[in-house]
Structure 1
């Protein structure tokens, strides 16, 4: 397969505006399963995720996520070892993915655009980056990065049955409450962390920053990394 080939489809985004998407991206939207990229301090990893009746399900099993570093390697793995033996194999559209992978026509495309049904989406996540920025203080964190990282961690926790992570990410927990505030940038938060405040911002969230780093480390520990094989 020529991975540089870009056939394109015209569709409407959430605002009713015609947009152009590649045929590879159109395929993933049709089957309802998303390739996602997770950037870590050890580099980027690719995997798949979908939602069964609103519940997240990842490429993996028993709380371990199957990840591979490159698009080509993931497509090859799905055609062979990854064709069965994981939670996504029960998806009704899974055979279409395996068939396309075995034919050499599966293009791994991470969606970071507009979905015609759900609006703007981003399937690329950088939880390590957010953890690093949190240690520098709340004003150093991008609100969208925070929201995306929290969503990824929450999805994994729900799928894996991780009660500790779900409890820490809930709004009733100091960490979850902080992440909500960072995502909203509330006036009350801005006043509390103003430079004139008696408590330096970095110290004010030191415990929560450490807890977030712990969740990110737990996420990486779930990775089941597969070799890339031939190029």
Structure 2
């Protein structure tokens, strides 16, 4: 089973956001464990929440009276700075927003958000459930989280793991309606049960009034200059560390910035036309392009096996409004793209940062083993495969073959994304990954 890791997360409830840490399940001495930064001793198990990543990092440096103190990688986590314990977008859970999500029509972002939110609710319940389990007279199904258990038992909740396809068509629409009904019936009780186990005092280090509102937390960024224990402050203090792996402080300063609200607003149009904006980051820079699938084969904005990249959404839109011929011209919905004023803004699932993977591998090989898992490979490799398919890059296929170290690592990432990367594994993968990135870069053309 995977080596243990620790993930920074944020929870929003009652219009306030708290930061904490979660250790996903790992195996030790033949038993499976998982835990949150909290305390399960006493009558009521609690998860400690903190008003800022700075406060969370400060607590981690000074306290060992919690359930993660004996975690195998805690000594490393205890030395991390605020940026390193700032959760990425995939680990922010808005419990307040569930009603709004189910009230709208389903799309892949709504389904993914609900699946993630329900999962973290279930994880908290599992870790904080103190119902007796050793009395033969007790009901085996008794739990301190009855509403959580009832919600998780709904078949519509199980459908969330299948993605948006489970909610397409008449049967899918009916399932979405039933899911909304379950939320209306149970969610208020679910959050009440959870909130009884959420410690908004940060183990006595904070006041509930210190917590930012949901809107404020979206723009709150830890200041590395205030973190005296960090040996290497981030180069760009305006950006929190964006990582694909637990507690890894790998930043991506070359990413094209976009307001999340604007991205969400634009997503409906691009999903509707079936042509999606994509960001690719390689050593030469970050660029935007467009991609669709024709009979399950990827097709990009480009020609003759070359993919056109643009430095900004505005430049990409200007090109789409022009009359230059390319491989998307014949797509039936292209006239809508050529005529729209909706900027091509990629969602997180369509961003492929190939540079970050190389940096992560180098960091792990240099001693960060135990902090990064195989999931760091999954999304970038999806983009790589699409680019290689379109451009006919046979060398990429060879590097990702099942018999190669890189291919075996990718296969494990798809099968067991939580499996930790070992230093010796990363050292073997660094060279092939760098070659793969160089090969992909030959098919990318940055347009003015």
What TM-score does the superposition give when structure 2 sets the normalisation length?
0.39
Aligned mates of 1:217, 1:140 — CA distance in 2? 27
> How far 1:93 moved relative to its partner?
0.7
Alignment of 1:36-75 (within 5 A): 36-75=278-317
Does residue 352 of structure 2 align to residue 125 of structure 1? yes
Q: Which residue of 2 aligns with 1:85?
A: 325
The answer to whether the 8 A contact 1:130-1:141 is kept is no
Looking at secondary structure, tell me which structure has more strand per residue: 1
1:186–1:23 distance in 2 versus 1, CA, 3 Å: closer
Decide whether the 8 Å contact of 1:75 with 1:108 is kept in 2.
yes
Q: Are residues 32 and 135 of structure 1, via their aligned partners in 2, closer, same or farther at CA, if it must alter by over 3 Å?
A: same
Asked whether the 8 Å contact 1:28–1:34 carries over to 2, the reply is yes
d(CA) in 2 for partners of 1:149, 1:222: 16
State the Cα distance separating 1:139 from its structure 2 match: 4.4
Cα distance in 2 for residues equivalent to 1:42 and 1:163: 22
Q: 1:69 & 1:142 partners in 2: Cα distance?
A: 31
Aligned residue for 2:286, secondary structure, equals strand
| CA shift in 2, pair 1:203/1:95, >3 Å | same
Structure 2: runs of 5+ lacking an equivalent: 1-102, 112-159, 161-175, 181-260
Find out whether 1:109 has 2:345 as its counterpart.
yes
Contact 1:170 / 1:176 at 8 angstroms: preserved in 2? yes
* Larger RCO (CA within 8 A; separation ≥ 6): 1
User: Match for residue 27 of structure 2?
Assistant: none
- TM-score, normalised with respect to structure 1: 0.72
Aligned residues: 193
- Structure 1 position 22, deviation (Å): 4.5
Query: Structure 1 residues 124 and 156, CA, compared in 2 at 3 Å: closer, same or farther?
Result: same
1:164 aligned residue (395, 404, 418): 395
Larger radius of gyration: 2
